[in-house]
A and B are shown apart, each in its own frame.
Chain A
Amino acid sequence: MLRRTAGWFDTRLGTSAFVQKALTKVFPDHWSFMIGEIALYSFVVLLLTGTFLTFFFDASTSHSVYRGAYEPLNGVEVSDAYRSVLELSFDVRAGLVMRQIHHWAALVFIGSIVAHLCRVFFTGAFRRPREINWIIGVLLLILAIFNGFSGYSLPDDLLSGTGLRIAHSIALSVPLVGTWMAFLLFGGEFPADEIIGRLFVVHIMIVPALIIGLLTVHLAVVWRQKHTQFREPGRTEGNVVGSRLWPSYTAKSIGLFFAVSAVLSVMGGLVQINPVWLYGPFEPQQVTSPAQPDWYLGWVEGALRLVPPFDVRLFGYEIPNPFFPAVLLPGVTFTLLLAWPFLEQRFARDKEAHHLLDRPRDHPVRTALGATTLTFYTVMFVAASNDLIAKWLGASIFGITLIFRILILLLPPLVGWGTYRLMKALAASGAGHLSEMPLAALTNRGADGHGAHVDGGKGHGAAGPPGDGHAGNRLGAPAEEARTPGG
């Protein structure tokens, strides 16, 4: 039967050659290569649960009366969007668990993209020839954040409505075109009635389609270029060592899909997220405190809270305060992220192709810069909770804010410097792992510069030539012979 089907397709499309190659394709087994798959499978969960939700969500701000199981709002006139989310949560069987899995999946989706990005960054996996996939990955991150925000805004509850209010103000703050931009995006002055319907189309169609398109290209490029791998015996620039797609890697990967969906399902069932019935329907003159966005916009929110009060007025025109933390900062952030592979190629004078990964210590400058950047965004992220921290600590909000203002200037360079020292010392100590490094290595200032020597040839100099002594060292063994016995 299988033979006949394969033959049927092969005689029409010539698929067998590809299928043969695909089934025996080798994937490295290192755990960190699967972080991207967490994001992929969270996205699949998002699509599955999201499709269910679309059957019940009503993307309209027209008003109607909610009649259902949630007592305090029973008989209250609310927007259709809010009413349908209430019904989903209380009156549609399995609706709430689907909604909650969807929301948790969104948080984990973007979180795992960031984790994946960090893995790729700190191991140098973005270097030639993988710049294209780095760019696509950053674009996927931007799209994911955007889709997260548009989804968060759909229920038309008080918290998300406040978020949309701030988004409108941020759009307004853009020089020259801001006013028109805000009016065209929202359909008019806030709160324009069109925005929920528009966000819905963006959230369930436009952005997911873009994500699916870019994700396909992302995976196709990985497929074509093959995975990177860590330096280990038998692994060279010219080969890939690991498990075959069929059946071993397929089973593990599908297993990971089920594992990710299991985690998300348990969270969706046991941990309440975004209880919009407690937040109440959006009314433009109402507000709640504390008011934070979902975590992936926390850094922008923190920046809005940390930036000191100033506007720019030039020739009778104004650049309002929110432009700097909420437009300029994200703009610079993502531009630098997109440009990073090219910046590093330029400054490290390394335009060679690399398929063997760096360990973070092999490139202390990059690692230190990455740590500095992460610290900078983490401080902003935590500062977005300044009011809650003030409440929990029993301190003044402005005391907490002052501490964050100091930390954001002090901590990133400090962490960067510490990381640099640590990486240098680690490379010099020749320890296999951070935990095995003798403490003395860190205090031994003379250790600098001996890295490559003590390192047993595993690593290579920070900014030097790629040091790839193994380039010609192909095993040349056919895959069948090289596999270890087992199974």
Chain B
Amino acid sequence: MKLRCARSGWAVKVLTALGAIALGGCAYTSNLTNPHPSQEPVADTPERGRVLYLRDCAWCHAAEGSGTGRGPDLISDTNGAAFTDFMLSTGRMPINDPSEPTRFSSPSYNPSEIEDLVAYVASLGGDGPPIPVVDTQAGDLALGLELYQENCAACHSTTGVGGALAAGPDPFDRSLIAPALTQSTPVQIAEAMQVGPGTMPVFGRDTFSDTEVDSIVRYLGHLQRPDDRGGLPLGHVGPVTEGAIGWLVGVGGALLIVRLIGTRVGEE
């Protein structure tokens, strides 16, 4: 379901939010239009990474990646190949407007463009980790479960559907979530662990061995196709949707049945 919701305007935002309740997901897709739909693809030359960078990124991150008032630098902390690849391949970057939240969407570039951009940004001097190599089959499912429960489930939920966070007490803050991991690729998961994007902590190579990373990724692969042996999964959020179904279908159904069995006042 792809819904185009017009940007800007308070009323539109409220409508979008209401639509999100009804349709489940409009709010996520509403901001995900490609920011540069009109721009022509750049020819595949050795210079392509730089050209793309200067065209789409430098406005906020500066030509040398040193950052501006609009966007952070791409050199300090965990910045580097893995971070750049994560932000681009999950569609979190680029954004139209520096005030926009960075959210998971379909990537704006094709894989080879991402490769060139990553190479260019990495050449700017960030010494964050390189793109990790993940071998899901080398992972151990049970170990992955234990590590996931211990380190990831608090924010992303035991079922991997994500959860709400909050940066501070301000009621007018932008929404902050630990995203669902239902669509992440193995490499993206490993990248996120090593660079700690957004508000996520760093779970780097010093903390987790390759086998441990492989195991977590393998378990997440399982969570992406969980064993819903019990039937309809109800969004994997637990008692909230279960309670709703219990009332609507269970109690509601039973009330309907007694209504059919019994009589009404004046009906005899």
Contacts and interface: CB of A to CB of B under 8 A. Distances in A.
Q: Classify A-B as touching or not with yes or no (CB < 8 A).
A: yes
Interface of A: 29-35, 37-38, 42, 70-76, 89-90, 96, 100, 104, 107-108, 111-112, 115, 158-159, 230, 232, 252, 255-256, 259-260, 263-264, 267, 269-275, 277-280, 283, 285-295, 298, 384-385, 387-388, 390-399, 401-402, 432, 484
A292 B238 contact: yes
Given A37-B258, A286-B154, A398-B170, A391 B175 contact: yes
Contacts of A402: 171
Contacts of B258: 31-32, 34-35, 37-38, 256
Given A278-B158, A393-B21, A396-B170, A108 B254 contact: yes
B145 A280 contact: yes
A398 B176 CA distance: 11
B131 to A, nearest CB: 27
A267 B226 CA distance: 20
Given A35-B258, A107-B246, A388-B237, A289 B163 contact: yes
B255 A96 contact: no
B155 interface: yes
Interface residues of B, number: 74
A73 B157 contact: no
B159 A278 contact: yes
Given A31-B261, A107-B247, A398-B170, 16 more contacts: A31-B264, A72-B142, A76-B146, A115-B255, A158-B149, A263-B250, A267-B249, A270-B231, A272-B234, A278-B226, A290-B240, A390-B164, A391-B163, A392-B20, A394-B20, A401-B171
Given A73-B142, A287-B153, A396-B176, A260 B254 contact: yes
A274 B242 contact: yes
A399 B262 contact: no
Nearest to B150: A286
B158 A280 contact: yes
A35 B243 CA distance: 19
Interface string B171-189: 1111111100000000000
Contacts of B239: 159, 274, 292-295, 298
A384 B146 CA distance: 28
A111 B250 CA distance: 9
A270 B266 CA distance: 38
Nearest to B249: A267
A37 B146 CA distance: 45
B248 to A, nearest CB: 10
A108 B262 CA distance: 20
B246 A29 contact: no
13 contacts: A31-B260, A33-B262, A38-B258, A74-B142, A100-B230, A267-B249, A272-B230, A292-B239, A292-B240, A394-B27, A394-B175, A396-B166, A399-B173
Contact of B233 (A89, A272, A289, A399): A272
A404 to B, nearest CB: 11
Contact of A70 (B21, B165, B227): B227
Contacts of A283: 149-150
B171 A294 contact: no
Interface string B128-157: 000000000000011011100110011101
Interface string B14-27: 00010011001001
B251 interface: yes
Given A256-B258, A278-B236, A112 B251 contact: yes
Identify the 8 closest CB pairs spanning chains A and B, nearest first: A31-B262, A295-B243, A272-B230, A107-B246, A289-B163, A111-B251, A108-B250, A399-B171
Contacts of B1: none
Nearest to B17: A393
Contacts of B150: 283, 285-286
